[in-house]
Amino acid sequence: MTQTSQPGPVPSAADLSAAGFPGPIERPRRLRSGAAMRSLVREHTLRPADLVLPMFVREGASENRPIGSMPGVVQHTMDSLVRAAIEAVERGVGGVMLFGVPERKDAVGSGATDPEGILNLALARLRSELGDATVIMADLCLDEFTDHGHCGVLDGAGRVDNDATLMRYREMALAQAEAGAHLLGPSGMMDGQIAAIRDALDAAGHLDVALYAYTAKYASSFYGPFREAVDSSLQGDRRSYQQDPANGREALRELALDVAEGADLVMVKPGLPYLDVLKEVAQASPVPVGAYQVSGEYAMIEAASANGWIDRDRTVLESLLAFRRAGASTVLTYYASEVAGWYRDGLPAHLREFL
């Protein structure tokens, strides 16, 4: 029988030195030696004010409707929307982004510009309840309101008509500004949308309403759960106007255009699959840069944690920190209110490295 040799004692630093081994010239581990040292040299941190909470409000709802692919996220009633928004603001989030789910849709998305449409009513209600205590943001896009599910109006051949859509965006921007939104998020990826909206707002005297450009919004499979969240009617796909996932340089071209047209902030969407794009945009941008941790990213974390494969809370914070490290000053995330509550109440011991 072959005998297995037993390892000898682990040599000490003195033993190694005596044997002529000088040891590493540099020791980066010194700066990782304990929690206090790691905290002292930490490069990036999270704050509740960095986080924006996307919220869905459903027209005619008498009770919240859970979204199956996004556990913990719901289509709100008007009253529950207000309660959840107030709670998020009390926890310290930087803002809320509203999406409307209408009962009726048509080819031009009439509900998007109707002052009595669900999104505009919700904006007015939140502005009345919250005033300027937080940044009230509105998704400026037609997809939730059109019966074909596209982000714009269609021409005779069934293609999204860019310039006709810009006219609808101008009308939608005015409706949202007049309802009380502080900031509008044009997410349709139409050419010239920032310039068209800025012109309409300024002409109507809404000089202080800011624009958060969805500068690099990719045609991504990570949006799947969101389409359930807004009861999407999409027919076909959006690859003719959203960015190709294979392209990176194109985002910098879009950035230059959005900034020149008057964007106050810019965004990369989705988040984690496009951290390389986020970093390049952040390095080049003269205005604040954000990222959107989209529905598919949220759903993956929830599914993996439900199966016991990952530590949910640590994964949530690690993913948000990744956006900050890549250059995002603002992160839209469905975890915003929950995470802000953790910081307000004091992170448990196993999460304190994220302070």
Query: How much is the mean pLDDT over the chain?
Result: 94
Q: How many CB atoms lie within 10 A of CB 4?
A: 6
Q: pLDDT tens across 204-231, in order?
A: 999 999 999 999 999 999 998 988 888 8
Q: pLDDT tens across 227-274, in order?
A: 888 888 888 889 898 999 999 999 999 999 999 999 999 999 999 999
Q: How many CB atoms lie within 10 A of CB 38?
A: 12
* Residues marked as catalytic: 217, 269
Q: pLDDT tens across 56-81, in order?
A: 999 999 999 999 999 999 999 999 99
Q: pLDDT tens across 301-321, in order?
A: 999 999 999 999 999 999 999
Orientation angle between helical segments 162-179 and 193-203, nearest 10 degrees: 40
CATH number among 3.40.50.300, 3.60.150.10, 3.30.1740.10, 3.20.20.70, domain 45-354: 3.20.20.70
Q: Which pLDDT value is given to residue 2?
A: 59
